[in-house]
Amino acid sequence: MSSPVRRGVVRREQLFDGLVELLLAEGFAHLTLDDLAARLHCSKRTLYALAESKEQLVRAAVVHFFRAATARVEAALAAVDDPAARVDAYLGAVATELGAVSARFFDDVAGFPPAAEVYERNTRAAARRVQDLVIAGVAAGAFRAVHPEFVADVVTGAMVRIQQRRVAAATGLDDAAAYAQLAELLLHGISRRR
């Protein structure tokens, strides 16, 4: 039999998972705490136990999403050894994670500074991860002798533009498709196979 503390932790995770699923599908700007409580089949009091306001609840849900997504992306990366395949696997896994997210959610995140800050921080961490992968690929001789910091700066710029919804506005690509295109562009640009 599980303890009350353990059941509370499990219930909290279930609520956050449900909240994340709801927000990813529908966005959040139009939802009230009453709406969220009704949709999650809980009381507003239960939601207030998770966070003190809708704004804090949304930010916590965005953090929850990116934490889980990062773990899945890293797990996908761990299964690959070839340097080029690692870059492709990493950006492909990011695209997969973002593929399940609605445009409305991204628009709401872009318009809500606390959530936008979380997305931006995760975008910058992802760009650093790509830089590390490029550095490792150059060192292994799998990539041309490119300037890894420059490549990372270009990738960061593209990733930030994706995160800020500027790529979607300019091209019509959703975030997942933009990441897939970025992977294609990056790998063709640095690959030795020409």
Q: What is the pLDDT of residue 82?
A: 92
Architecture of domain 55-190: Orthogonal Bundle (1.10)
What is the Cα–Cα distance from 101 to 27, expressed in whole angstroms?
A: 9
Residue pLDDT, tens place only, 46-67 = 998 889 999 999 999 999 999 9
Q: Which residues pair with 68 in a beta bridge?
A: none
Query: What is the average pLDDT across 169-176?
Result: 90
* Of 114, 76, 121, 91, nearest in space to 182 by CA: 91
Portion of the chain with pLDDT greater than 90, in percent:
48
Q: What are the extents of the domains in the chain?
A: 55-190
pTM for this one?
0.83
Residue pLDDT, tens place only, 102-126 = 989 988 998 999 999 999 899 889 8
Query: What is the average pLDDT across 38-43?
Result: 93
Backbone angles phi, psi at 118, to 5 degrees: -65, -45
Max intra-chain CA distance, the chain: 61
* Of 42, 25, 22, nearest in space to 34 by CA: 42
Q: Is the pLDDT of residue 1 over 60?
A: no
Q: Is the pLDDT of residue 194 over 60?
A: no
